[in-house]
Amino acid sequence: MGIVLHVLGWTALSSEAGGNCGRFKGPCPQGLTGVLLLAFGCTFAGLGGLAFVHSALEKRGALPRRRRWSAIIAVVGVLAGVWPGALVYDGLRGQFLEVRWSAPLDRPADVMGAGSWVDGDLVVRARTDRLIGYTTTGTAWTTEVPGRQALCTMSRDVEDGVGLVAWAADGRPCATVVAMDLRTGKSLWQLARTASDRPYGPAMAGDELAVASGLAVFTEPTGLRGVGLREHDERWRLDVEPGCTPAGVAASADQVAMLVSCENAGLHVVVVDPASGRERWRAEVPVEPPMASVALLAARPVVVRAVEEGSRTEDVVISFSDEGQVQARIPRSGPDYDMPPVEQTYWRARPVRPLVVRDGLLIAPVSAPGEDRRTAVAAFSLKTGTQVWRTAIDGDVVTVESTTGGLVVATDRLYLNELSPTDGAVTATLPVRGEWWVHDVDLRKVSDRYAVIASDGTKEPPVVMVG
């Protein structure tokens, strides 16, 4: 058993942690400390037992005639320890995820990921020049962005196997909206929208496209427009007041929300009935405009993130009731925590948001005050703003994914932790076998596997399926 545990343990240390781990080298692979301690313990016990038997036989003068049997017993003893050693190793290490498949590296070497979707067992990764659909075992389809245009924005979600993208030439408004059938990789339709004069560039705070209730919804300088998701027949338009401009849209199954910026009236949230396009209610965002950057995080409940500028600034998440009343104000920096920025701009068309809104909670990775490493995940009530639970995570949290069953948290060493969204309890710890160091990734649950989607797929695989 000692031999087996030594071989497996030191091999794991080399392959999963580069040969060293500890306080100043990063966390050790799961269960490896116990494996190596037991390996030394079994080794010393085995050698001690062998020495004792050898000494006893020697004292009785039986060693010369028993030497062959002693060697046979030693060999049999070693072989008999192989299977128990493997069982003990697996028990101490716990459950692991294995890499099942990885996509080939991106080429040319200067392209970057722009966003991603999941639909059933299909992962779609967008680049500025193409969209690629992956199954759990390989590439399903590839769709090129025509000509020299670039994919500049995409819907946050998909519905009924359809997602929205838009593309334009560099420096031009993002005006061509395309509905993609994710099952085939082909476009269902495309239309021209009146896009903002703001040229394609770094990621914006607000989404410009959304899908919900069989609708494709997108912003234009004059307001909001809804068309059929599969037929693109126009359903309704909702104009904003003169001097106002849409600044983002979000959608849920039964509600559409639009963020509106007005020159003289500040920032407002306008909530729309997706069936008729009629306004349900509107509410002022309680910030100090115009020196504020506001992102619309969710449509029901309506949740926004506001970052003010100036000497007396607030960086806060604000939630609204179904009647348009402010319910909670959750500061990004509290007495015992700091949240990350609302969006990570290396995903340009669909920025990854580390903040999750679900079940009446705002869930976010947090760090201790003054620390850079986000070593916990915390949940805050969107009704009261109080912290509901907080769970420590072994490692630096890089992303949090909301799934049907709960939450999945990934660290920079690619340790996946499944959490209960109700109380934050860790229901499973699932490290990925091998040595990993990830950043700028999106994590998606795909059937019974996980897709690790890299922003920069030129040095690491753009998509890795583990399970």
Is the predicted pLDDT of residue 23 greater than 70, yes or no? no
Q: For position 362, which CATH number holds?
A: 2.130.10.10
308 and 434 fall within a common domain: yes
CA distance 98 to 20: 21
Residues 132 and 209 in one domain: yes
Domain boundary among 71, 93, 115: 93
Same structural domain, 59 and 168: no
Give the pLDDT confidence score for residue 186 in this predicted structure.
96
> How many domains is the chain built from?
2
User: Alpha-carbon distance 95 to 222, whole Å?
Assistant: 54
Q: Are 164 and 156 in contact (CB under 8 A)?
A: no
The overall average pLDDT reported for the chain is: 88
347 and 244: one domain? yes
Same domain, 53 and 157: no
The domain boundary, picked from 93, 124, 143, lies at 93
Give per-residue pLDDT as tens, 205-251.
Answer: 579 999 988 999 999 999 999 999 999 999 999 999 999 999 999 99
Pair (40, 65) in one structural domain: yes
Q: Are 374 and 365 in contact (CB under 8 A)?
A: yes
Q: How far apart are CA 370 and CA 368, in angstroms?
A: 6
Residues 6+ apart with CB under 8 A from 346: 112, 113, 440, 455, 456
Supply the pLDDT for residue 353. Answer: 87
Residues 6+ apart with CB under 8 A from 203: 343, 345, 347, 348, 349, 351
Specify whether 227 is located in the same domain as 241: yes
How far apart (Å, rounded) are the C-alpha atoms in residues 374 and 399? Answer: 10
Domain assignment of residue 275, given as a range:
99-466
Task: Say whether both 104 and 88 belong to one domain.
Answer: no
For residue 203, is pLDDT > 50?
no
Beta bridge partners of 2: none
Residues 6+ apart with CB under 8 A from 270: 224, 238, 240, 257, 258, 259, 260, 279, 282
- Is the same domain home to 232 and 286? yes
- Residue 144: exposure state from Cβ atoms within 10 A (0-12, 13-18, ≥19): exposed
Cut 0.85: pTM above it: no
Residues 248 and 298 in one domain: yes
- Read off the pLDDT of residues 138-183 as tens digits, 9 standing for 90 and up: 899 999 999 999 999 999 999 999 999 999 998 888 899 999 999 9
- Residues in CB range of 93: below 8 A, 6 or more apart: 12, 29, 30, 31, 32, 35
Assign 271 a pLDDT band (cuts: 50, 70, 90). Answer: very high
329 and 447 co-located in one domain: yes
pLDDT tens digits, one per residue of 85-121:
888 877 777 778 889 999 999 998 888 899 999 999 9
Pick the last residue of a domain from 74, 93, 112.
93
Give dist(CA 197, CA 211) in Å, integer: 23
In whole angstroms, give the CA distance from residue 389 to residue 409.
15
Q: Is residue 73 predicted with pLDDT exceeding 90? A: no
- Tokens 């390989």, residue? 138
Token digits of residue 460: 């690491």
Give me the pLDDT at residue 204, please: 37
Strand order in the sheet with 449-454: 99-102, 463-466, 449-454, 441-446
Contact 2, 42 (CB under 8 A): yes
Do residues 45 and 112 share a domain?
no
Rounded Cα gap, residues 100 and 150, in angstroms: 31
Q: Residue 130 carries which side chain, given as an amino acid letter? A: R
pLDDT for residue 180: 97
Q: How confident is the model at residue 200 (pLDDT cuts 50, 70, 90)?
A: very low
